[in-house]
Amino acid sequence: MSFLDATGRNLIGVGVYTVPQVATLVRLPKATVDTIVGPTPDDDTPPRAYPIAIAELDLGQGEKIITFQGLMDLWVAARLRRHNIPWPVIRLAAYHASRILKTPHPFTTGTFRMESKKVFLSLRQERDKQKTAIDLLNQQQVFEDVIDQSLTDDIVVRDKHGRIAQLFPMGSKFKVVLDPERRFGEPIDPDSGVPVKALAGAYHAEKGNVTAAARWFDVSKKAVLDAVAFEEWLSKS
């Protein structure tokens, strides 16, 4: 098996997802994901056409293939949409944030907060200084204590550069993680590394006998129950 894409990029540690897989994981319609994923933008790309996630990989099959970083861009965008932020506004936020952070993955790199229909990018501050943020729609700086809530509290693990490195999609209390360093970013039990899909499959094969299903892979019963809960959670839009 080759671990390189058609351009020679190493697939190890980046996560590999098709549009249908991404749509399922971020709980958005496939048609929507298809329209907000695009090629790498350039300096002439207008805000209205700015891709919220970039199809960075080429597996030689003509499909849009997204990395873990792209998946996280869509994860944050989907949360914004569930807070009734319109897609044109989310595109504009991605456009401005990418220029402020100088990265094609602004939603992955930045910490985003919101209040009402506004989207804010939190800024790193020196110690003992009041935290501030930028309103991405009008480029104004504000104090962060006026902002309602974070979009990513308690669900992500960031690396030393501030980028999202792991995602616990149902929160830290559930034993389900997406980690691009393990199984190409497939949802897994963090302790054993067993794919969540396999654990849920064992549960159904054993007709709901959690103990028997756990024995299949020598995992805890909680790992099985959380896998089933994750499967049910994904089915809810």
In a domain, 191, yes or no: yes
Residue 176, domain member (yes or no): yes
Beta carbons of 124 and 92 less than 8 angstroms apart: no
Of 20-34, 109-123, 141-155, which gets the smallest average pLDDT?
A: 141-155
Neighbour-count burial for 115-129, b at 16+ CB within 10 Å, e otherwise: eeebbbbbeeeeeee
The pLDDT-based confidence of 154 (bands split at 50, 70, 90) is: very low
234 within domain boundaries: yes
Instruction: Work out the average pLDDT over 109-136.
Output: 68
Contact residues for 155 (Cβ-Cβ < 8 A; gap 6+): 167, 168, 169, 171, 172
What count of other Cβ atoms lies within 10 Å of the Cβ of residue 26? 23
Q: Which pLDDT score, from 0 to 100, does residue 150 have? A: 53
Give the sign of the dihedral formed by CA 65, CA 71, CA 76, CA 80: positive
30 part of a folded domain = no
Instruction: Count Cβ atoms below 10 Å from residue 98 Cβ, excluding itself.
Output: 21
Whether residue 222 is contained in a domain is answered as: yes
Asked if residue 37 lies in contact with residue 55, where contact means CB atoms within 8 angstroms, the answer is yes
Q: Which of 118, 159, 163 is nearest to 137 (CA)?
A: 118
The pLDDT tens digits for 189-227 are 999 999 999 999 999 999 999 999 999 999 999 999 999
Task: Work out how many domains the chain is built from and give that number.
Answer: 1
> Is 229 within the bounds of a domain?
yes
- Residues spanned by the domain of 207: 171-237
pTM over 0.95: no
Domain presence at residue 58? no
